[in-house]
Homo-oligomer: A and B are copies of this chain.
Amino acid sequence: MPYVNIKITDENVSAEDKKALIEGATQLLQDVLGKNPATTVVVIDEVNTDNWGIGGEQVTHRRQRGQ
């Protein structure tokens, strides 16, 4: 019954990548806590790099600096 929300920047994440995240997160909850995969929900949010900040700086700027 777990709910997992994964937030990442929207930098060319493929449908295959998302498939792997959904499978991996569902497996993790089963491995660690024995949760039934049938009712595990995973939602991936892709966030524009202008809208994500770390260290007080937009990711857009970090990318321009090569980070």
Give residues in A with beta carbon < 8 Å to B. Answer: 1-9, 13, 15, 17-29, 31-33, 35, 37-47, 50-60
Contact = CB atoms under 8 A, between A and B. Distances in A.
Given A41-B41, A43-B3, A51-B43, A57 B22 contact: yes
A50 B18 contact: yes
A15 to B, nearest CB: 5
B56 A22 contact: yes
Q: How many copies does the complex hold?
A: 6
Nearest to A34: B17
A21 B40 CA distance: 14
Given A6-B29, A24-B32, A43-B52, 16 more contacts: A1-B9, A3-B43, A4-B4, A4-B7, A7-B43, A8-B33, A18-B51, A21-B32, A37-B55, A39-B54, A42-B53, A43-B53, A45-B45, A45-B47, A45-B51, A46-B51
